[in-house]
Structure 1
């Protein structure tokens, strides 16, 4: 289902910050390289220009979208821009498109082919999604057309497979599960070499992710679940609520409770039922990026959690992290129009930081979302916990900073003997090596921590 919240969100540059995302989904390939950020473009239009070349009522939108994509592949953006409304043209310049497309090609590697297309109707718009096959990462190219044939939105996102099948190997067996009243699709991965193993609940980063936090065998949580199972640890992973039900997030003004915490609580209840059945032993929560930020809050709200692991999380206010990321992108931008667009986002961030405008939005999220995160008081929450906590960080992370965010955990938790901190040389936000596989030492350290922390 098309994510209309993104299409109708405030304008975002193609080289958008990942917002503590567990994005950077990795394609199954021996040539895969680390991917640090998702690339998204979203625009909204309110009115069409009278001289815009509009599609007719009998237009084949799949054929049109593929033609426009062919033009973009040839670095020709004029045909797609001719279908933009005047308002859309004011927001999205050719320079920004060119710079964004440059980032897409850098993230994807060598282009291979245009694959399948699908058409859906969402809120009165026709949304065409075309899969683009690249060497390192596949992307979905989305165009949203109104009933006049005008382009209402354009977006590139990492491609994610809709269905994930359970696997059975010599070392682990997977079972499909449902989490909570929303019946979120999930997976229980049980090791075959351990009796009553501890179970780790995996929490994704920001953005709407499936249970694997990506697609293919190299997806972060897919590799993590299988790697931990090989080390005698069970895992529970599940779709984020607004990935499975994108219509529930139409206005972007939900809270972190609705996006993550409520469903995490349901996952803990499910894990507790496995404990009561004698299937597993202790319960742990492991969050990546934003998931690593809120892991302390999940533990505080659910007393059955015996320990937490934070992968590239931060106790800092999310708005401050966004400002740092946007500032870095603005300063690095080579095209004036892109600098201007990033500065506009920084202006939005300044308004959000002041916290006085409840109608404020920043990169598609509203006041309620940022405020709900701020109210978690993450650092103090972590400080209040007496359970074992493990904080992992890559020293080459360009999204959560090893010289700013990682030391802040240590400041909050100074003097507490229940905390362990590990910094990995050469690893980025996804903790994967040059071959695209999740670093084995990270999985070894996680498994050792969990086993040593089971009560």
Structure 2
């Protein structure tokens, strides 16, 4: 969570994709998409909004559109568009190069040449550079076997004589690569290499929603399908590796992954302990309106269109929680009701209370996605536990990068690295468990 693609940080670049069945095809969808991008590049968000269908305009008001577009930095290059037909719409895909990194624009055009959907998602990240020759660790490809299909990953191994203690990293919400790439930053890459250099093996892997989206084609899945089952499979696989000390394998979850870490550790009872990094104490549907309200109020006020967006989000959340069936298009972020129901059923604090294993709790005080209120709830829930260690970092944001002032989406666009103190604290805690 980032709570994030299902949180604000999928999230970061997702404006929402609304696909409506139409009987005909737009005459020149590429021209429509280019005109939309021209308006956005020129800062003419009102003209861009005028190209939307009524439903799209209600979901993404001009002010929100402008804020998100500007958060990407300066547009430097526009690539060649590709056009395909999906659900009666023409889908135009245009690669864009911003100062903050590569982005792919997906523009859905209906039969009336109106924009029925717009998504700006991060371009596939370039593979991380290999470790330097003098690094105190190496990296090897590592596949996570699963009945639904294996997931590709990377195992960072300390140099020297093993077996080594190990950590499995579990992502935040939404499609995530093994480095949990967000804008110009790679939090999981920093953590994996930092811990490996300190004598701890780390497995990171591509999330199923990124690498095997076909597994979710039936539009009915749960948070366990998205995260938990694969995390358990990853723990099982890494513990079976002879280079790993199977009695000292830990789960480290970030954002939504942190919320699920106690559940994951309980379903893989061999886990030595769990690390909850920027973990929500409340459900994602409780946090989602808070995150959006925070972002919209950063300029000092919430405009009428922004309030209309918040009102619509409240209605979508109510529909997600309702016992009455509702299509994904009417729910937050276009995610099916089965997922939201399963997330609402997660009792993260209760799971942590029931998990009689050591816990390390990590929190950045500049985290607007999982704010101090959740940190306080965690402290109340786990008060008196001698096997829980608490580490708060005043300058860190949701992804563990230091800054100053109120955190924002724009901050994520700038490359940064996870604070070394946080990585040191994790390594020290893991070694203490031996």
TM-score by length of 2: 0.84
Residue 235 (structure 1) aligned with residue 199 (structure 2) = no
User: Residue 368 of structure 1 corresponds to which residue in structure 2?
Assistant: 338
Aligned to 1:346: 314
Indicate whether 1:392 and 2:362 are aligned.
yes
CA RMSD of aligned residues (A): 3.2
Q: Give 1:388 deviation, angstroms.
A: 1.3
CA 1:424 to 1:92, structure 2 compared with 1: closer, same or farther past 3 Å?
A: closer
Q: Aligned equivalents of 1:139 and 1:160: distance in 2?
A: 8
**Correspondence for 2:15:** 41
Provide the secondary structure at the position in 2 that maps to 1:309. strand
Structure-2 separation of matches of 1:22 and 1:236: 23
Give the superposition deviation at 1:450: 1.1
Q: 2:127, 2:185 → 1: CA distance?
A: 16
Stretches of structure 2 lacking an aligned partner (at least 5 in a row): 404-414
The alignment partner of 1:325 has SS state of: helix
What stretches of structure 1 of length at least 5 have no aligned partner?
1-16, 26-35
Cα deviation, 1:366-422, whole Å, max 9, x if unaligned, reads: 3322222233322111111222110000111111011x1012112111121110011
CA distance in 2, matches of 1:222, 1:183: 21
Counterpart of 2:349 (choices 369, 375, 379) is 379
Which segment drifts farther, 299-308 or 373-382?
373-382
Give the match's secondary structure for 1:127.
strand
User: Which of 366, 387, 401 is residue 418 of structure 1 equivalent to?
Assistant: 387
Residue number among 323, 332, 342 corresponding to 2:289 in the alignment: 323
Q: Give the alignment of 1:69-218 within 5 angstroms.
A: 69-77=37-45, 84-85=52-53, 87-89=55-57, 91-92=58-59, 96-105=61-70, 107-115=71-79, 117-119=81-83, 122=86, 125-145=89-109, 151-161=115-125, 167=131, 169-171=133-135, 172-181=137-146, 182-193=149-160, 195-214=162-181, 218=185
Instruction: Say which of 258, 263, 266 aligns to 2:233.
Output: 266
Q: What is the aligned counterpart of 1:287 among 237, 253, 262?
A: 253
Instruction: Quote the Cα distance in structure 1 between the aligned partners of 2:183 and 2:317.
Output: 34
Counterpart selection for 1:451 from 416, 420, 431 = 431
Distance 1:174 1:223 in 2: 13
SS in 1 for 2:353: helix
Contact preservation (8 Å) 1:48, 1:150:
no
- Find the residue that maps to 1:108 and give its secondary structure: coil
Q: What whole-Å deviation, never above 9, does each CA across 1:339-374 have from its counterpart, x for those lacking one?
A: 102211112223445x43343733323332222223
Show CA shifts across 1:305-341 (max 9, x none).
1111111002212222223224435656543222102
Rounded Cα–Cα distance in structure 2 between residues aligned with 1:337 and 1:156: 21
> Would you say the 8 A contact 1:166–1:175 is kept in 2?
no
Please give the alpha-carbon distance, in whole angstroms, between the structure 2 residues aligned to 1:232 and 1:262.
27
Q: Please report how far the alpha carbon of residue 452 of structure 1 lies from its aligned counterpart in structure 2 after TM superposition.
A: 1.4
What's the secondary structure of 1:328's corresponding residue?
helix
Residue in 2 that maps onto 1:10: none
Q: In structure 1, what is the equivalent of residue 412 of structure 2?
A: none
Asked whether the 8 Å contact 1:309–1:391 carries over to 2, the reply is: yes
Write the deviation string for residues 141-169 of structure 1: whole angstroms up to 9, x where unpaired: 21134578654321122333276676564
CA distance in 2 between counterparts of 1:246 and 1:330 reads 31
Mapped to 1, the partners of 2:397 and 2:357 lie a distance apart of 27
Whether the 8 Å CA contact 1:22–1:204 is kept in 2: the answer is: no
